[in-house]
Amino acid sequence: MANVVVVGAQWGDEGKGKIVDWLSERADIVVRFQGGHNAGHTLVIGGTTYKLSLLPSGVVRPGKVGVIGNGVVVDPWALIAEIDRLREQGVAVSGESLRIAENATLILPLHRELDQMREEAAGAGKIGTTGRGIGPAYEDKVGRRSIRAQDLKNLGTLGPKVDRILAHHNALRRGLGKAELDKDQIIAELSEIAPKILPYIDVTWDLLDRERKAGKRILFEGAQGALLDIDHGTYPFVTSSNTVAAQAATGSGVGPRAVGYVLGIAKAYTTRVGSGPFPTELFDDVGQLIGEKGHEFGTVTGRARRCGWFDAVLVRQTIKVAGIDGIALTKLDVLDGFKELKICVGYDLDGERIDRLPAGQNAQERVKPIWETFEGWSQSTCGARSWAELPAQAVKYVRRIEELIGCPVTLLSTSPERDDTILMKDPFED
């Protein structure tokens, strides 16, 4: 048995929620290891839709344990609101089903405010953040001035820690022409939310070590996608954390050998939310039609996603940097009915063919896709649960993707319903 890491192989929004839910039935523990409530997973179970942002997908399944690891930045107010929404849908979230790492960094209201103020001040230079304070919270973590979950246990010691964080933030606010923050108000807000968060706090690295040694199956759930990785993504249009599989170990407190099979999730086409390079983006009616058929709107932001053809160059690159063993290809059914499909097989950069996305921002903006064109299919793939149910051209399309990315498609999703899935390999049986 292998523990499994699920990561996005594009710019996020690849359909990880369904795949993680599908895999969580086979897992005992589901761990979030990076990001925050800027992520969004939509699960459709028995006709009921659940929208998760911060909670691990396993919390909607009885008997599973969800863990928010130390690599996650946690907004306590957003977390409690999400737990309350799930309870209204009949999902009980308790201290037994959810554990939060004691050393996880907290997102405070001042982080959200700074995030939004910076985007407003950036004008045309916006990077398209969700405005939820993720980046500023990670900055404070690296700057060694953050408030962590464990600090809520000792409210009497918060004073000096709040002084330290305000010495930084009030200087920034003065520079942006904003009013300074009050220390007592921040302490009062944290004191009010602390009793609601404390029942979930635990030494999660020790919990995971014990459960792993006991033979429990662990599913590590990534947020966003590898192309949004702070090191390996399309910088600076990236998120503020590492989104590749290696972060599963660092962000949850387990050794790298505890991380087993890495499953990458990729759409059968490409989407992106927010600013940044997108070589295969379509600005015509085809791109609009893909967006309409795929219901391409962000789970968290509601923003329309930019749409384009499948980019094999980028997925091949993320497979290498993220250590992906197999791909789960999602939303194949969205391509039903197109007479012609295209796949990007290389880039033209100033007249030279290249087979990777360059790291430089200006070079990324100049690359042009080199296309390979495919005949489409008119039959429906929606709901297919075996290869035999797929049109021949759809099979050819998937097989060609495998060749171009150098990685097997081990799982194929043909609708938002969890059971509409074709499995070639169970990732837990590595």
Cα–Cα distance for residue pair 358/350, rounded to 1 Å: 12
Q: 329 forms bridges with which residues in the sheet?
A: 266, 412
The pair of structure tokens assigned to 298 is: 């962000």
Q: How far is CA 410 from CA 240, 325, 346, 417, in A?
A: 30, 9, 24, 18
Residue 241 CB burial class (10 angstroms; 0-12, 13-18, ≥19) = buried
Nearest to 267, CA basis, from 314, 197, 320, 220: 314
Give one DSSP letter per residue of 342-388, joined into a string.
EEEEEEEETTEEESS--SSHHHHHH-EEEEEEEE---S--TT--SGG
Is 111 marked active-site?
Answer: no
CB 265 within 8 A of CB 9: yes
Cα–Cα distance for residue pair 357/279, rounded to 1 Å: 9
Cα–Cα distance for residue pair 138/148, rounded to 1 Å: 11
Residue 181 CB burial class (10 angstroms; 0-12, 13-18, ≥19) = middle
Give one DSSP letter per residue of 130-196, joined into a string.
-SSSHHHHHHHHHTT---BGGGGG-GGGHHHHHHHHHHHHHHHHHHTT-PPPPHHHHHHHHHHHHHH
The residues, ordered by sequence, that sit 6+ positions from 353 with a Cβ below 8 Å of its Cβ are 346, 347, 370
Pick the catalytic residue: 13, 311, 325, 420? Answer: 13
Length of the chain: 430
Is 169 marked active-site?
Answer: no
Which residue matches tokens 């990685």? 407
Pick the catalytic residue: 21, 37, 41, 232? Answer: 41
Phi, psi angle pair for 391, to nearest 5°: -60, 150
Q: Which residues are catalytic?
A: 13, 41
